Amino acid sequence: MENKTLLIKTNEGSYDLEASVRQIGNDMLIAVWGGEKPHIGAVAVAQPRASLKDPNITSASTSVICILGHKEDQIAKQIAEKISATLNTLVIVTAGIHWDDISDQGIRKVIRHTEILIDLIIKKLMTERKTMPT
C-alpha cells in the first residue's frame, strides 16, 4: 500500500462515513469525515503495546485531543485503538462529522457506521498487506 491513499466509505444509506487511509512507512494516517460539514474535530494517536491482562495479546494506548465544542473524541479513539491493536502499528486518526439537528437514532447510526468503517479499513489494509511485494 506504500505511497497510496485508500478511500473507504460505509454504504448504509444515511449517516454514512468516509475515510482516507494513508500508510507512511509502517504507520497509518487516517482521516474520517461525514455529514453536511466535514471538519477536524478530534485527533487520536494509538500506539500498540502488550495487553496489561495478557502480554500475548496486542492492545493499544491512545491519546486524544478534542477541539473545543466538538464530540468526535470517542470516534477517533475507537478507530485508532482498534486498528493499532489489530495491525500492530502506530495510527493517527482525525475525525470530523456533523449533521445539523441529528437525532438520537442518527447518533446511534453514526456509532454503528463507525464500527462498520473500522472493519472495512482493517479488511482492506490486511488485503493490501498480503498483496504487497516483499
For the chain, the structural domain boundaries read 5-131
Q: Where is 91: in which H helix or E strand? A: strand 91-98
pLDDT of residue 127: 87
pLDDT tens for the chain, residues 1 to 134? 566 899 999 999 999 999 999 999 989 999 999 999 999 999 999 999 999 999 999 999 999 999 999 999 999 999 999 999 999 999 999 999 999 999 999 999 999 999 999 999 999 998 887 655 44
pLDDT of residue 78: 97
Count the Cβ atoms, other than its own, within 10 Å of residue 34. 23
pLDDT of residue 21: 97
Q: Which residues pair with 48 in a beta bridge?
A: 60
Quote the CA–CA distance of 100 and 66 in Å, as a whole number.
19
pLDDT of residue 4: 84
Beta-carbon contacts of residue 97 (< 8 Å; ≥ 6 apart): 17, 32, 33, 34, 35, 38, 41, 72, 75, 110
* Cα–Cα distances in angstroms (integers) from residue 35 to residues 5, 25, 103, in the given order: 21, 31, 13
pLDDT of residue 130: 64
CATH of 5-131, one of 3.40.50.150, 3.30.230.90, 3.40.50.300, 3.30.360.10: 3.30.230.90
